[in-house]
Structure 1
Amino acid sequence: MATFLHRIGRGAFRRRWPVLLLWVLLLGAVGAATAGSGGSAGENITLPGTEAQKAFDLLGEKFPTANAEGASVRIVFRAPDGEKLAGTRQTEVTRLLKDVRGSSSQIAQVTDPFRTGAISADRSTGYAQVTYRAKAGDLTDGDHERLDRALDRGRDRGLTVEASGSALAPVGAGMSSEAVGFALAALILVVTFGSLAAAGMPLLTALIGVGITTSAITALTAALDLNSSTSALASMLGIAVGIDYALFIVSRYRSERADGHDAREAAARANGTAGSAVVFAGLTVVVALAGLAVVDLPVLTAMGLAAAGAVTIAVLVAVTLVPALLAFAPERVRGRAARKRQAGPAQETAPAGKPLGERWAAFVLRRPLKVLLVAVLGLVVVALPATRLELGLPDDGSQPASTTQRKAYDMLAGSFGPGFNGPLTLVVSDDDPARAKAAATGLGDRIKEMKGVATVTPAAFNQDGDTAIVTVIPDSAPAGDATKELVHDIREITHDPARTGGAEALVTGTTALNIDVSAKFTSAILPYLALVVGLAFLILILVFRSLLVPLKAALGFLLSVLAALGALVAVFQWGWLKGLFGLEVTGPVMSLMPILTVGIVFGLAMDYQVFLVTRIREAHVHGADPRRAITEGFAHSGRVVTVAALIMTFVFAGFIGADEAMIKALGFGLAAAVLLDAFVVRMTIVPAVLALLGERAWQLPRWIDRILPRVDIEGENLARPAGPARPGSEAGVRAPAHSGHH
C-alpha cells in the first residue's frame, strides 16, 4: 500500500496541472448535471415491513385519488376573545380561505370547515385543510409569499391565524452552518501551520470534494427520492474528513521536508505513509456508514451511502490532489519559521522543547493505571443519562414557541384536545365489501369504548367499498405514554382474527409510526453494531497486526459513543444548558439519532485510532520499546490529531445553529463524540492501555500473521534516498530508521 501510494504521490507531484485540471473538470461536470436535474428532496420516511408502512401502502393502493405526494398546509384560525366563528367572523373566515385558494395555481383543494365540522365545541376555533398538486420542494417562492400574505390579511381582519404543514416556506440556515465551521477550521489551520499555503490546501481540497459530493447528491435527488437530510449529512462529514485527511498528509510532508528530503520525494513519502493511514481510516468510516443499510430503512440507507460516498471522494482527493497542490508551493507550505531554521546557522537549529504531545504522553506513562481509571470513570458518568434515552419523531410540538407551526399546534390542542395533533388511523380492508364494512363498524364501536379514546369518526370507504378508514383521536398528547399504550391496546384487538371477522386491520398515524420506528431501531442496533465492529475489527487487525489494539479501539469507541448519547439526553431531552445551544424546546431524541451517531462516530473514532496508533506502531516496528514508541508516536502525531479533532468539532458544532431539529441534534452529538473520543479515549485511554499492555499489545498469533497480507502502512518498503538528511528539522520530528522487523 505504501509503495503504491508513494508512486501515486510522485506522479501527482510531477503532473500537478493535469491532476488539478481533472478534479476541476469533474467538479464542473457534476455541477452541470445538477443544473440540469429536476425535482426536489423528499420528506417522507418509509419503514418497509412495519405495520404503519403497510397501512400507508394499502391506502395508496385503495385510495388512488388521494394525492399523498402533494404538499399540504393546515390553516388554524380563532375568533377574538369572547367571540365565536359566526356571522361576521364566519364571513371573514370564508374570505381568508378564498385568499388562500387564490395564492397558488398548484392548490387542489381547500376544505370548508363549516361543512366538514372542523369547528371546536365552543365555536371559537376552526381549521381548514389545504392540499397541493405539487410536492413541497416544487413550490416557488411566489407560492410561499402569496400564502403568507393571505394569512396576514386574515390577521388584519382580527382573526388569530396560524398554519402548519409541508407547504410552508422552509426556514433553513442555508450555508451558514457549514460556513461557521469552515471559518473556524481555517483559523485553526493558520494558527497551527503558520502558513497560509499549508492552511489553504486542506480547505481547498475539502471544498472540491464536498462540491462534487453534494452536487452529485442533488443531481440524483429526484431520481432516487432522497431525503433533504441526506445532503446535509454528506456535507457535514465531507468537510470534516476532507480537511482532516489533507491535514494529515500536509503535516507529514512538512516532517519529511524537515528530515532533509527534496519536495517531490517528501510529497511521495507523505502520500505513502500518511496516505496509507488515510486510506484505511477512510475505509473504516465507509464500512460504518454503508453498514447502516442493515437497518433496512431507505432514508437511513441513502444517508449512509451518500455520506460514505463523501468520505470516499475525500480519500481520493487527499491521495491525488494534495500531492499535486504541494508541487505548486513546495516551500511556502513549510512556513517561514521552518525555512529559516533549515537555512540558518547551527545555533538556530538547536532542538526546541519537547512537543506538547510527547509531554502529555510522558505524563500518562508515569501513572497509566490512575489515568485510565479516571478517564473511564469520567466517561461512565457522562454516559449515565443515556440510560434514560427516549426516542421519538419530531412534530410541530417540538418547534420553537415563536413559530407559526407551534402556535397552530397549541391552538388545536387547546380547542380540540391534546390528542388531536396525533390522530391514529385504522385501515380496514377485505376483498368482500360486506365483511370489510362489518369489521370497520365493529372495530369502531369497540375502540370507542376503550379507555383513553376521545373520538372515533365513522368509517369512510373507498369507491369499491372494500377498504375503510377510521380515525381515532386519543385524549392524551401524541408523545404521551398513555397514547402509546392505546396503540398497543388497539393492535391487540386488530391482530385478533376473531375480532376482525377475518378482515385485515392495520393501525398507522404519527404515533403508530413512532412506535414502529423505535421497535425497528431497537431490533437493528445489535446486528448493526456486530456487523460494523466486526468488519472494522478485521480491518484494524490487518493494519496493526495485533488483536488487543483493535479490541481496545472498539471498547473505547463504545465508551465515547455512550458518553455522547448521555450528553445528548442531558441537553436535548432534559434541557440542561439548552439556552447555551439555542434550544427552545426539549423532548424525545429523534429516533434516527442513536444508530446514526453510532455509525458516524465509529468511523471517526477509527480515524483517530489509525492516525495516532500507526505512528506508535511505526516507532515500535523501527526498534523502539513499547513505552518509547508511545512517546515518539505522540511526538509525531499528537499535534495533528489534536488539530484534526478540533477542526471536526468546530465543523460539527457549526450545525448546532441549524433550524432543522435533527441536524441541530446531530451536530451537537457528533461534536461531543469527537471531543470525548479524541481527547479522552484516543489521547488518554489509548496510551494508558498500551503502557499497561507493553509488548503484549503488538503480539499476533503466528497462524493469523501468516494468513494476513502485509499492507505496509508504516512505509517500511519505501526506498530511502542515498544522500544524508540535511541538518535542521521541525521540533519534535525525526526520520525513523528503516527496519523490516515486525
Structure 2
Amino acid sequence: MAEFLYRLGRGSARHARKILAAWFAVLLAVGVAFALGGGTLSNAMSIPGTPTAQVTDKLAEKFPEASGGTGSVVAQTSDGRAFTPAQEKAISKIITKATTINGIETIVDPFASEAERSKQAKDIKDGKAQITDAREQLTAGTTQLDDAEAQLNTGREQLEQAISQAKAAGMYEPAKAQFDAQLAQLDAGAAELEKQRAALEENTPELEAQQESLEQGASLLEMAAEIRTVSQDGAAAVITTVFTEAQMDIAQETKDQLVAAFDDTPVAGVSFDYSSEVSQGIPSVFGVGEAIGLLVAGIVLVVMLGTLIGAGLPLLTALVGVAIGALGAMSLSSVLDMSSVTPMLGLMLGLAVGIDYSLFIINRHRHQLKDGYSVRESIALANGTSGNAVVFAGATVFIALLALNVTRIPFLGLMGSVGAVSVLIAVLVAITMTPALLSLVGTKILSRKERTALAAGAAAQPVLAPSPKKAVRAMSTKGAIGTAVVSIALLLVLAIPALDLRLNLPDGSSEAHDTTQYRAYSAISERFGEGQNGPLLVVADLPATNTDEAALAYQREIAEALFAQPDVVAIAPAGTSTDRTVAAFQVIPAQGPTSVSTENLVHDLRGLSPLDGKFEIGVAGAASGNVDISEKLAQALPIYLGVVVGLSMIILILVFRSIFVPVVATLGFILSYFAALGGVVAIYQWGWFSAVFGVDTPGPILNFLPTLLVGILFGLAMDYQLFIGSGMREAYAHGASSRLAVVQGVRAGRAVVSAAAIIMISVFGGFVFSHSAMIRPIGFALAFGVLVDAFVVRMLLIPALMHLAGDKAWWLPKWLNRILPDIDVEGASLERRHPHAEAEGSPDPAVPAKSS
C-alpha cells in the first residue's frame, strides 16, 4: 500500500492540474445530480417489523385514508380574545384553498369541526328529550289503555250479572238480542284496546334502539370531550392536515405550499405556527456555529503550519470533499427514505477527518522540505508514509461506520453508509488532491523565514525530534500510578449520568424557543393539553358484522375499555374500514410524546390485547413509533458495541503486534465512550449548563446517538491510538527501553494529535449550536468524546498504563507473531526503498538539498 501511495502522490504532483480538474468535475457532477434528484428529508423515522410499523402497514391495506402522515397548523389571536366571525371565515377560506394542494388528503377545519361537535351534542340532548317525551307518552297511553280495559271488564261483569238475573226471571229470551249487541260492543272495544296495546308495544323496541344509539353517541362524545380543535377560550385553533403519503414520503414541495398558503394570505389579528412535521425541511448546512468552528480550526492550522497557504490547503480539500459527500447523499434523497440528520452527519465527519487527514500529509511534507528534500520527492514520500497512515486510519472509521448495517436498522445503516462514504471521499481527496495542491504551491507551504533559512543551507532541526539539550527520561512509576488512577476516576465520574440515560426522538419542545415548531408545540400544550402533541393511534380488529349499528357497539365497547386506562384523557373513533373489520381510535395521553407515562401507556395498551378476549389491538402513531425505535436501538447497541470492540482488538493486534496495547486501548475507548454519553445526559437530559449550550428544554437523548457514537468515536480513537502508539512501537523497535519508548512516542505524536483533536473538537463543536435539535447533541457528543479520548485516554491514561506494564506491554505469543502479516503503517520500509536524494541528484532544483 505504501509503495502504491508513493507512486500515486508522485503522479498527482506531476499532473496537478488534471487531478484538480477531475475533482472539480466530480463536484460539478454531484451538484447537477442534487439539483435533479434532491428529494425529501424528514425527522420522522421508522424501522420495518416493529409493532408500530406492523399496525401502520395494516392501516395502509385496510384503512388507507388513515395511514397518511399528519401535521398541524396552530392559529392564535394576537390579542388573546376569541376569534371573530370574520377571522374564522378568513381562516376557513384559506383551509378550503389549501385542501387542493397536491399531496394533501384533507385539512380539518377546526371551526366546522367544533360546530359539528356542538351540533352532535345538541342533537343528542334533543334526542334524549324526545325519547323522554315519547316514553312519557307511552306510559300515559298504557295507563289510558289499562283504565279503558278496566272499564270494559267492569262493563262485562255487569252485563254478565244482568244476563244471569234475566235468566233467573225468565226474561232472557226476549232481551237476548239486546244482550248480544252489548256483548258484541264490549268485544269490539276489547279488540280495539288490544290493537292499541300492540301498537304501543311495537314502538317500544324502536324507542329502546334509539335510546341505545343515543347513549352510545353520548358516551363516545363524552370520552372525546378533551379532543378539541378550538381552545375553550376560543383564542386558538389547531388545523390538522392529513397528507396522502406516509410521514417519511411527504414531498418538501407539499409542505412548503401548505406553509405558503397561510403565510401568503395573512389574517388580521391572527398568527400561524407550524408543527415540526410541517415546518421541518432540509436543515441549514452552514451556520454561525459551524463558521466559528472552522475559524478555530483555521487558527490551529495557522499555528501548526505557520503559513496561511498551509492552513488554507486542508480547509480547501476538506470543503471539496464534504461538498461532494453531502450533495451526493442528498441527491439520493428522492429514492431513499433519508432523515435530515444523514447528510449532516456526512458533512460533520467529512469536514473533521478531511482537515485532519490533509494536515497529516502536509505536516510530514513540511518537515521533509526543511530536511532538504525536493518538493516532488517530499510529496511522494509524505503520501507513501503519512498517506499510508491516513488510509489505515480512514479505513478504521470507514469499517466502523459501515458496520452500523449489522444492526439491521435501515435508517441507521444508511447514516453509517453515508458517513463511511464521506470518510472514503476525504481519504481519496487527501491522497490525491493534497499532493496536487502541494505541487502547485511548491515551497510556499513553508513560511518566508523557513524558506530563507533553507535557501541559506541551514536545515532546520525536525520539530518532533527531542532537543539534545534535554535528555528524555521515563516517567516515574509513582507518577504513572497517580496519572492512571486520576484519569480513570475522572472518566468514571463523567460517565455516572449515563446510568440515567433515556432515549427518544426530539419533539417540538426540544426546538429553540424562537422557532415556529416550539411555538406550535407550546400553544397546543397550554391550550389543549400536552398529550395532544403526541396522540396515539389504536387499531382494533372487529368481529365480522353486516350492520353499522353492531360495528358502532363494538367501537363503544373498545373505547370504554381504553378510556378506563390510567393516563388516557380522551379517546375518539377515527373510523372503520369499508368491510367493518378494522377500527381506528385516536387516544390522547396525559403527557407529551417523550414522557415516561406515555411510553408506559404504549406498553399498557399493547398488553390489553386481546381486549376482553375478542378484540386484537395494536398501537401506532409517532409517539409509539419513537418508543419502538428507541427499544430496537437499545437492543442493537450491545451487539454493535461487541462488533466494534472485536474489530478494535484485531486491528490493534495487527498494527502493534501486542496483546496488552489492544486491550488497554479498547478499554480506554469504552471509558471515553461512556464519559461522552454521561456529558450528553448531564447537559441535554438533566439540563446542566443549559444556558451555555442553548438547551431550552431538557429531555430524552436522541435514540440513535449512543449507537452512532460508538462507530464514530471508535474510528477517531483508533486514529489517535495509531499516531501515539506507533511512535512508541517505533522507538521500542529501535532499541529504546519499553518505558523510555513510551515517553518518546508521546513526544513524537502529541503535537500532531493535539492539533488534529482540537480541529475535530472545533468542527464538531460548531454543530452544537446548529438550528437542528437532532444535530446539536450529536455535535456535542462527538466533540466531548474526542476531547476526553485524545487528551485523557490517549495522552495520559494509555502512556501511564504502558509504563506500568513495562516490557510486557509488547508481549505477543510466538505462534501469533509468526502468522500475523507485517503492517508497516508508518511506511518505514518505503523510506528504505526510496532513500533521500542528495543535492547532486535532486530532481527539483527549486529546493536546495540538505547540507552534509
User: Structure 1 CA distance, aligned partners of 2:460 and 2:628?
Assistant: 68
Structure-1 residue corresponding to 2:310: 198
Structure-2 residue corresponding to 1:175: 286
1:164 equivalent among 275, 292, 301: 275
Structure-2 residue corresponding to 1:467: 582
User: Structure 2 CA distance, aligned partners of 1:141 and 1:505?
Assistant: 36
Which 10-residue stretch deviates more, 55-64 or 648-657? 55-64
Structure-1 residue corresponding to 2:10: 10
Does the C-alpha gap of structure 1 residues 703 and 119 become closer, same or farther in structure 2, counting only changes over 3 Å?
A: same
User: Structure 1 CA distance, aligned partners of 2:834 and 2:479?
Assistant: 38
Q: CA deviation at 1:667?
A: 0.9
Q: CA deviation at 1:217?
A: 0.8
TM-score calculated relative to the size of structure 1: 0.89
User: Structure 1 CA distance, aligned partners of 2:576 and 2:608?
Assistant: 21
Which 10-residue stretch deviates more, 560-569 or 181-190? 181-190
Does the C-alpha gap of structure 1 residues 360 and 377 become closer, same or farther in structure 2, counting only changes over 3 Å?
A: farther
Structure-1 residue corresponding to 2:108: 111
Does the C-alpha gap of structure 1 residues 690 and 259 become closer, same or farther in structure 2, counting only changes over 3 Å?
A: farther
Structure-1 residue corresponding to 2:374: 262
- 1:457 match: secondary structure: strand
CA contact (8 A) 1:178 1:236 kept: no
Does the C-alpha gap of structure 1 residues 479 and 217 become closer, same or farther in structure 2, counting only changes over 3 Å?
A: closer
2:567 equivalent among 410, 430, 452: 452
User: Structure 2 CA distance, aligned partners of 1:211 and 1:182?
Assistant: 15
Q: CA deviation at 1:92?
A: 1.8
Q: CA deviation at 1:111?
A: 1.6
Structure-2 residue corresponding to 1:484: 599
Does the C-alpha gap of structure 1 residues 54 and 525 become closer, same or farther in structure 2, counting only changes over 3 Å?
A: same
Structure-2 residue corresponding to 1:736: none
User: Structure 2 CA distance, aligned partners of 1:211 and 1:400?
Assistant: 27
Identical-pair percentage = 39
- 1:224 match: secondary structure: coil
Structure-2 residue corresponding to 1:99: 94
The equivalences for 1:269-284 within 5 A come to 269-284=381-396
Q: CA deviation at 1:437?
A: 7.3
Does the C-alpha gap of structure 1 residues 385 and 40 become closer, same or farther in structure 2, counting only changes over 3 Å?
A: same
Q: Does residue 138 of the first structure (1) align with residue 250 of the second (2)? A: no
CA contact (8 A) 1:5 1:272 kept: yes
Q: Does residue 305 of the first structure (1) align with residue 304 of the second (2)? A: no
Deviations 1:511-552 (A, max 9, x none): 322321221122111101011221232122212222221211
Q: Does residue 712 of the first structure (1) align with residue 824 of the second (2)? A: yes
- 1:75 match: secondary structure: strand
CA contact (8 A) 2:505 2:703 kept: yes
User: Structure 2 CA distance, aligned partners of 1:340 and 1:361?
Assistant: 35
Structure-2 residue corresponding to 1:739: none
- 1:458 match: secondary structure: strand
Q: Does residue 73 of the first structure (1) align with residue 69 of the second (2)? A: no
Q: Does residue 369 of the first structure (1) align with residue 481 of the second (2)? A: yes
User: Structure 2 CA distance, aligned partners of 1:540 and 1:303?
Assistant: 26
User: Structure 2 CA distance, aligned partners of 1:380 and 1:308?
Assistant: 30
Deviations 1:453-503 (A, max 9, x none): 211213510223222101112233333333332222211112x4x7352x5
Which 10-residue stretch deviates more, 400-409 or 558-567? 400-409
CA contact (8 A) 2:12 2:432 kept: yes
Which 10-residue stretch deviates more, 446-455 or 123-132? 123-132
2:663 equivalent among 551, 562, 568: 551
Q: Does residue 702 of the first structure (1) align with residue 786 of the second (2)? A: no
Q: Does residue 127 of the first structure (1) align with residue 241 of the second (2)? A: no
Structure 1 residues not aligned, in runs of 5+: 727-742
Counterpart of 1:477 in structure 2: which amino acid? Answer: G
Structure-2 residue corresponding to 1:524: 636
Does the C-alpha gap of structure 1 residues 163 and 254 become closer, same or farther in structure 2, counting only changes over 3 Å?
A: closer
- 2:41 match: secondary structure: coil
Counterpart of 1:684 in structure 2: which amino acid? Answer: L
Deviations 1:51-86 (A, max 9, x none): 1121122222222345725x74333446955x555x
Does the C-alpha gap of structure 1 residues 145 and 84 become closer, same or farther in structure 2, counting only changes over 3 Å?
A: closer
Counterpart of 2:90 in structure 1: which amino acid? Answer: R
The equivalences for 1:562-577 within 5 A come to 562-577=674-689
User: Structure 2 CA distance, aligned partners of 1:722 and 1:80?
Assistant: 80
Deviations 1:161-216 (A, max 9, x none): 54424333759544124433223212211122112232222112112211211121
Q: CA deviation at 1:291?
A: 1.7
Counterpart of 2:64 in structure 1: which amino acid? Answer: P
- 1:427 match: secondary structure: strand
Q: CA deviation at 1:272?
A: 2.0
CA contact (8 A) 1:6 1:269 kept: yes
CA contact (8 A) 2:453 2:459 kept: no
Structure-2 residue corresponding to 1:605: 717
CA contact (8 A) 2:82 2:234 kept: yes
Which 10-residue stretch deviates more, 368-377 or 38-47? 38-47
Q: Does residue 47 of the first structure (1) align with residue 40 of the second (2)? A: no
Does the C-alpha gap of structure 1 residues 439 and 370 become closer, same or farther in structure 2, counting only changes over 3 Å?
A: farther
CA contact (8 A) 1:287 1:536 kept: no
Structure-2 residue corresponding to 1:421: 533
Q: CA deviation at 1:238?
A: 0.1
Structure-2 residue corresponding to 1:396: 508
Q: How many residue pairs end up in the alignment?
A: 713
The equivalences for 1:640-655 within 5 A come to 640-655=752-767
Counterpart of 2:108 in structure 1: which amino acid? Answer: T
User: Structure 2 CA distance, aligned partners of 1:574 and 1:101?
Assistant: 44
Q: CA deviation at 1:121?
A: 4.9
Deviations 1:285-312 (A, max 9, x none): 1121112222222221111100000001
Structure-1 residue corresponding to 2:405: 293
Across the aligned residues of Structure 1 and Structure 2, the Cα RMSD in angstroms comes to: 3.0
Higher Cα radius of gyration: 2
Does the C-alpha gap of structure 1 residues 321 and 615 become closer, same or farther in structure 2, counting only changes over 3 Å?
A: farther
- 2:330 match: secondary structure: helix
- 2:395 match: secondary structure: helix
CA contact (8 A) 2:46 2:625 kept: no
Deviations 1:576-620 (A, max 9, x none): 111112222211111121111222111111111112222222222
Counterpart of 2:110 in structure 1: which amino acid? Answer: P
User: Structure 2 CA distance, aligned partners of 1:581 and 1:388?
Assistant: 20
Deviations 1:299-343 (A, max 9, x none): 211111000000011111212222222222231213333333334
Q: CA deviation at 1:366?
A: 7.5
Counterpart of 2:275 in structure 1: which amino acid? Answer: S
Q: Does residue 721 of the first structure (1) align with residue 848 of the second (2)? A: no
2:350 equivalent among 227, 233, 238: 238
User: Structure 1 CA distance, aligned partners of 2:383 and 2:477?
Assistant: 31
Counterpart of 2:591 in structure 1: which amino acid? Answer: S
CA contact (8 A) 1:605 1:674 kept: yes
- 2:498 match: secondary structure: helix
CA contact (8 A) 1:292 1:304 kept: yes
Deviations 1:214-258 (A, max 9, x none): 121122111123222111100010000001011111111122233
Deviations 1:636-663 (A, max 9, x none): 3211111111111110111112111110
1:684 equivalent among 780, 796, 807: 796
Q: CA deviation at 1:398?
A: 2.2
Does the C-alpha gap of structure 1 residues 478 and 218 become closer, same or farther in structure 2, counting only changes over 3 Å?
A: closer
CA contact (8 A) 1:73 1:168 kept: no
User: Structure 1 CA distance, aligned partners of 2:733 and 2:601?
Assistant: 63
TM-score calculated relative to the size of structure 2: 0.78
- 2:277 match: secondary structure: coil
Does the C-alpha gap of structure 1 residues 283 and 187 become closer, same or farther in structure 2, counting only changes over 3 Å?
A: same
Does the C-alpha gap of structure 1 residues 560 and 407 become closer, same or farther in structure 2, counting only changes over 3 Å?
A: same
User: Structure 2 CA distance, aligned partners of 1:32 and 1:127?
Assistant: 40
Does the C-alpha gap of structure 1 residues 404 and 220 become closer, same or farther in structure 2, counting only changes over 3 Å?
A: closer
Structure-2 residue corresponding to 1:589: 701
CA contact (8 A) 2:480 2:801 kept: yes
Does the C-alpha gap of structure 1 residues 140 and 47 become closer, same or farther in structure 2, counting only changes over 3 Å?
A: closer
